[in-house]
Amino acid sequence: MNSYFLPRRVRAAVTSTLLVAFASCTNIKNDSDRTRTEGAVTGAAAGAAVGAGVGALAKKNANGALAGAAVGAAVGTVAGAAVGDAQAKKKEGYAQKESALDSQLAGLNNQIEGRRAYNAKLRELVSAKEQQLAAVLAADRSAGPTVQEFDLRTSVSSKIAETDRAERSWQETINAHKAVLKGASADARGPELEAEINRLAEERAELLRQRARLVSITEKLDKK
């Protein structure tokens, strides 16, 4: 190998410069900025090494190696920065996707808890209405509907209408989440999202079961 190829002081200068540059990367808190900077530094390192070698061979002296290293580092910085930028954008894309899915799961969990609380209160109300039904049916109804029967009919009818609105709204929510799931089918957290959607669907099914109990109350009232 030619004795002028990368003299010791050239190697030392390039190495010390790059060590300082890489060390500075660790102080960058933003991951995207750090990725871009690391790309530029890596490109500068590769460019400086190649440029120094070319310069040394062309000029046959250390000055040629230093000049080549400077030019190579400049070119390598530009190329490395482009690569670092591409990598940073890819990371940002992954982060945005993960953040969006996390937000979707968090929102879905809140919806499930809200539906569960609604169903718990609905079950209590239906049980109370069934007890009221038993009292109405046990009373003398030969003279026509009593005040208690009228109150029971109107309150149950109003609650059935409410559950119908809720059922449609809940189904629309489920459909919206399923659309997101379809778009995230390749995501590792897709199964988790699907499981949460199934939990929401179960709460809708529970809503329909309580609606059926309400309808049963009106049917029993209609029997003579």
- Domain-embedded: residue 3: no
Taking alpha carbons only, the member of 175, 31, 38 closest to residue 108 is 175
Percent of the chain's residues with pLDDT above 90? 41
Judge if 62 and 100 occupy the same domain. Answer: no
Judge if 75 and 115 occupy the same domain. Answer: no
Structural domain including 171 reads 96-222
Q: What is the pLDDT at residue 70?
A: 61
Q: Could you give the CA distance from residue 135 to residue 130 in angstroms, rounded to a whole number? A: 9
Judge if 44 and 116 occupy the same domain. Answer: no
Domain boundary at 61, 92, 123, which?
92
Residue 187 has what DSSP assignment?
Answer: S
Judge if 22 and 110 occupy the same domain. Answer: no
Q: What is the pLDDT at residue 42?
A: 67
Judge if 82 and 124 occupy the same domain. Answer: no
Q: What is the mean pLDDT of the chain?
A: 76
Residues 6+ apart with CB under 8 A from 48: 14, 17, 18, 69, 70, 72, 73, 76
Q: Count H helices, E strands: the chain?
A: 5, 0
Number of structural domains in the chain: 2
Distance between alpha carbon 51 and the CA centroid of its chain, in Å? 45
Predicted TM-score (pTM) of this structure = 0.57
- Domain-embedded: residue 1: no
